Amino acid sequence: MLETGRDERSLYAAIGDLLLSKGVKKLIGIGSTFSRNADLIKIESTFYPNTASFLSDMQSTDFSEEIVLVKGARVFKFEEIVKKLQQKVHGTVFEVNLDSLSSNLNFYRSRLDHGTRIMVMVKAFAYGSGSYEVANLLQFHRVDYLAVAYADEGVALREHGVSLPVMVMNPSFSTFDKLFQYNLEPEIYSFKILREYLDFIKANDISSKIHLKLDTGMRRLGFEEKDLKDLVELLKNTTNIRVASVFTHLAGADEGVHDDFTQSQIRKFKSFTEHLKNDLGYDFLRHALNSAGIIRFPEAQMDMVRLGIGLYGIEAGGLLQDQLQPVGTLKTIISQIKEIKKGETVGYGRKGVAERDLRIGTIAIGYADGYDRRFSNGKGKVLVQDKLCPVIGNVCMDMCMIDITDTNAREGDEVIVFGRKPSLNDLSQVIGTIPYEILTSVGQRVKRVFYSE
């Protein structure tokens, strides 16, 4: 608003009209300019001369059951408001930095040839980072395709303004009508699902794009070399279905030891698609690379790549991790602090034993929020005031206890479970899993907060 160059009255009149027409229910305006133009705002509103005056009044403001958009120029320091809101909401939040996401997307784009399309995998709630919020940003950045695992995930995108083409990887007979209604394109991986889909298309006299999945070595879903003839037969006899793309998934693109195998997958894929193209009589998009593949096998990018974990800040191949920005930060707070004596025990099963007098903090995150129980008894460490503090005792369902003896932390202070430090890679190594699992395990009840400069 500071930089529009518009005349103040007409700018605020336009804001007033927008708020009304978009159905915004309530406005809190901060700054003297806003207050001066209060008469132009036609929805429920309150005004404050500056951020400090709002902060001191904030406790009395009721935000229950509301979605809050906080927006303002840097000088207003609205991050102070966000911090207070988060404490008000629930101790635990998952912050998603949309600028980091954009930066990671641009990094992968810079590795691609001009003209190679990008499909971004936003399955599983965009790897835990919020589905349509992420999808809308990707739409803004003009990626070419999105992919989700299930029809319902695609429907959620459509209902929140996403108009990009969307591929659904696990379609089922019962969701075909939804696919059609919401203009979602199924992945077809077997004869069973192909026949069912063909019947549906014919019965409803509609047409559709599909994406064919080939199994070249993953041994999960997909058609195989021997299926080519029957596949062509079925597809040639229908005019209502168009193959938009054909793809395969690499089983070991992230690890050098599998490079020969990966090359064999790529060879099989190229040969299959060449035959398919000739027999079908038309061309389609080809794609094989996941995030690790984009980095390690750029020569196999073909028409499109499928970006997943890399967007969320993890370089699966481990080669260029320092070129990516961490996207998600899982934060919680210290609910209570206790002084305990040497020899006392902490938590269920009395597994945490104080080897000396300790100051411990109970934090508002447990295994139901995605903080794996394998982080119990010192395995997990969280960041408090720049110090890594170990978990003491077993992780509980909604809480766990940490040793904060070496800090001067107070109740209500912020705790970082993962983010820049400790990183997702650190955490996954400690419990022998992969960053994908930790990221997608962040509980649904944990509020997502999206940041952008």
Q: Which residues bind ligand PLP (CB under 6 A)?
A: 121, 249, 290-292, 306, 308-310, 316
Whole-angstrom Cα distance, residue 438 to residue 431?
A: 10
In 288-374, the DSSP E strands lie at: 304-307, 328-340, 345-346, 352-353, 358-363
145 is catalytic: no
* Residue 432, phi-psi category: left (phi > 0), alpha (psi -120 to 50), beta (remainder): left
Q: Which of 348, 351, 387, 421 is flagged as catalytic?
A: 348
Cβ at position 312, least distance to ligand PLP in Å: 8
277 is catalytic: no
Q: Which is nearer to ligand PLP, 291 or 376 (CB)?
A: 291
29 and 5 Cβ atoms separated by less than 8 Å: no
Number of other CB atoms surrounding residue 438 within 10 Å: 26
Q: Which is nearer to ligand PLP, 55 or 112 (CB)?
A: 112
148 and 168 Cβ atoms separated by less than 8 Å: yes
Cβ at position 267, least distance to ligand PLP in Å: 19
What are the C-alpha distances in Å from 336 to residues 355, 360, 377, 402, 414? Answer: 21, 8, 19, 11, 12
Between the CA atoms of 397, 398, 403 and 405, what dihedral angle is there, to the nearest 10 degrees? -160
Cβ at position 426, least distance to ligand PLP in Å: 19
403 and 355 Cβ atoms separated by less than 8 Å: no
Burial 384-412 (b: 16+ CB within 10 A, else e): beeeebbbbbbbbebbbbbbbbebebeee
Cβ at position 319, least distance to ligand PLP in Å: 14
Q: Which is nearer to ligand PLP, 228 or 251 (CB)?
A: 251
Instruction: Please report, as a single letter, which amino acid is at residue 19.
Output: L
Cβ at position 410, least distance to ligand PLP in Å: 39
Q: Which is nearer to ligand PLP, 29 or 308 (CB)?
A: 308
Q: Which is nearer to ligand PLP, 304 or 383 (CB)?
A: 304
Q: Which of 48, 123, 132, 312 is flagged as catalytic?
A: 123
Residues annotated as catalytic (active site), given as ranges: 123, 348
